[in-house]
Amino acid sequence: MNKEQDVRGGPGLVGTEMEEQRVADAAQKQMTEVYEFQDITLHLLSFSRPSKVRIVIDEKFVRLYVGPRDWQFDRITKECAGSGVGLGPCGD
């Protein structure tokens, strides 16, 4: 590695640009998270048209709300931590 790369972090990147690239790389890594499981209740429910969909993401959980149904996924294990109207056991 030459001195320019040591100081600047790579060709063409300095200070703020390096930080912006780091943030973009971290965001891309987070965007590839996948959360899934088989829901045995969803097909039984009636939904209003249109149905409200809401996603809440915090440090510990990803929460998905679709009409009367909701799911909570652990961000570390990627597993369903709860589902239903009151976040009961998965698959209820």
- 53 part of a folded domain: yes
What whole-number distance in Å separates Cα of residue 90 and Cα of residue 36?
11
- Does this model's pTM top 0.75? no
Exposure class string for 37-64: b at 16+ Cβ within 10 A, else e: eebeeeeeeeeeeeeeeeeeeeeebbbb
Percent of the chain with pLDDT over 70: 74
Domain that holds residue 84: 35-92
Q: What is the pLDDT of residue 47?
A: 79
Q: How many domains does the chain have?
A: 1
Q: 82 or 2: which carries more pLDDT confidence?
A: 82
- 14 part of a folded domain: no
- 12 part of a folded domain: no
What length does the chain have?
Answer: 92
For residue range 1-17, list pLDDT tens digits in order: 444 444 445 556 667 88
- 23 part of a folded domain: no
Q: 79 or 48: which carries more pLDDT confidence?
A: 79
- 55 part of a folded domain: yes
